Structure 1
Amino acid sequence: MAPAGLEADLLLDRRRLKRSRGLWRLLAVLAVLGGMGLAVAALDEDGPSLAGLGNGPHILRLTVSGTITDDRRLVEAIDRAAKSDSVRGMILAVDSPGGTVAGGESLHDALARFRAAKPLVATFGGTAASAGYMIAMPAERIFAREGSVTGSIGVLLQSFDAQEAMRSLGLRAEAITSGPLKDQPSPFRPLTDEGRAALRAVVQDLYAQFVHRVAEGRHMPEDQVRALADGRIMTGRQALSAGLVDAIGGEREARAHLSAAHKIAEDLPVRELRARDLRERTFGASIGTALGETLAAALPHIVKSVVSEGLGTVLHVDGTGALWQPPR
């Protein structure tokens, strides 16, 4: 029979070995999932619908929902679709409150290039506001539901003042900057007159770009657009009366228009062209979701770190956005 001290050492060694094996097993599982996901991504390099561009004539449906941000892969996919002999046209289905100004601009320009080559029509779902409205401007015809929330033409730049909360915690922020406007806006000190003027000039320039895109897309004088571009939202019926959309309807009406105007058969197959999030672009849809859930459960400190970094960025400065924000 082994001495008591030796038994205790053996138990400790076994526990260390068990923990070590558990860690390596977890790393092995993550490595396998990652390898499988990269293989899926390699097979799906061009996205879910572009893989079949050569499989007969069809119409693309691009569904844009949620917050619009700059997506290089999506822009490249739209450009490839414009050159494909199999793609006869596109239905842009929007259900978005908007997003970043640069993201809306990038998608707008890609759709304008597509429209130069092939027919493009747009349909609005529950919401197509701000940048969600902007991206539809290249469409030759826009269909909205009577109850769609649209419009909200304008630009937003937000910050907040956290000084009182920091004082209550006994904290004080200090910044060493290369110039007086480098930390404007900042949650740690109020806007200066100089900073407010500079930021207002940025917002007004972005606003002028937005108004120009609407005037160009809707074939309206800029003064007429500016009268509507005070940030207000409209229903689909109101937008129709104001000239911001062309008709009440949805995809059925959009297909009928493509048939009448471009002889594109209403029974032609429709294939989805989707924007994919980071996990899906890297690992494929199903594996990306599963891996994300596994990482969230197994490595909570990583998730916490990512969230903290994200909050730090937001606290430093909020970027300009073309986003409808309903009051809370």
Structure 2
Amino acid sequence: MEALVDIQNLHLDMVTLDGVAHVLNGVNLTIHRGDLVGLVGETGCGKSLTAMSIPQLTPKPPARYVEGRVYFRGENVLDKSETELRYLRAHHIGVIFQDPMTGLNPVFTIEQQMVDAILSREDAISATYWGLKWLPSNCERRRRARERAIALLRRVGIPEPERRIHSYPHEFSGGMRQRVLIAMAIAGRPDLLIADEPTTALDVSVQAQILRLIAELVREIQLTVLLITHNIGVVAQLCNRIAVMYAGAIVEEGPVRRVLRAPFHPYTQGLLKAIPTETTPKGKLQGVPGSVPNLYSPPPGCRFAPRCAYARSVCTLQQPPMTTIDEDHHVACILYREDHPGSL
């Protein structure tokens, strides 16, 4: 199967007034066409920075890529010019950002914002191919863009789109705003949709509607999705693959059902034990002991070692590479290395 995204040994630092934070620590992640990949982990582990490295939306500065490659459609995006990146974002990658309440400008109507977004995509594509604005007149362009915007709003389930397109964001509920943002993200019929916690600040019923909408779009326009979330239940419901991230690195990756039923990495095991179920006795919910490492001075070797009940001296000497457990199930833990004397 063709790899749409292939992130290899990606290291990223954030230069701040307090020092240099070593945020991404050798991220490796492959996303094939048609995949719905859920990227999960604690807050601050680098999920959003990993995802935003694909369209190069990380702010530079303070972000600084130290090592690694990010391949999209077989080309390293770290080597691309800003014009090439604009075309990539306009035509091949769509992004849904975290908070629907702040994702739209409150002083412009939905029509103004959607039409401008569609036209900016056309500009980026035209500039890449022709080096000039080889496009119809401005009035004609805006008319076509408005028709496209109405069609997109209708597709994502906005009622009476011909009328509601004139509304301001404050006249929409949180769920409707998120639908508008999804419409803007798929306007260019992208190959990849990055959904950065798309159900944040939405109630449970609206979350379900948004997830169903994303699933429908995947089937309809053959999207590949990278879903960033804290909610493993959402990943189990929507995704076919899961990648578990801890302190800047992927520690386990594989098919959702296989990973959730039989997790191998101690961190993944801890995450699943921290999820309440119907059979969890009151007051008996387990958490992952310890706290996340300080990324300004992270521990050597495996960053999870200080919190791991199975840690050994070798864990502090080197970062464990990915080991294949079963076909396409991979884990970064020394316990499963066949060449390690204490392997399981």
Q: Could you say whether these structures have the same fold, taking a TM-score greater than 0.5 normalized by the shorter chain as the test?
A: no
Structure ranking higher in helix proportion = 1
Structure ranking higher in strand proportion = 2
| TM-score bucket (shorter structure) | under 0.3
When normalised by structure 2's length, the TM-score is 0.26
Higher relative contact order (CA 8 A, sep 6+): 1
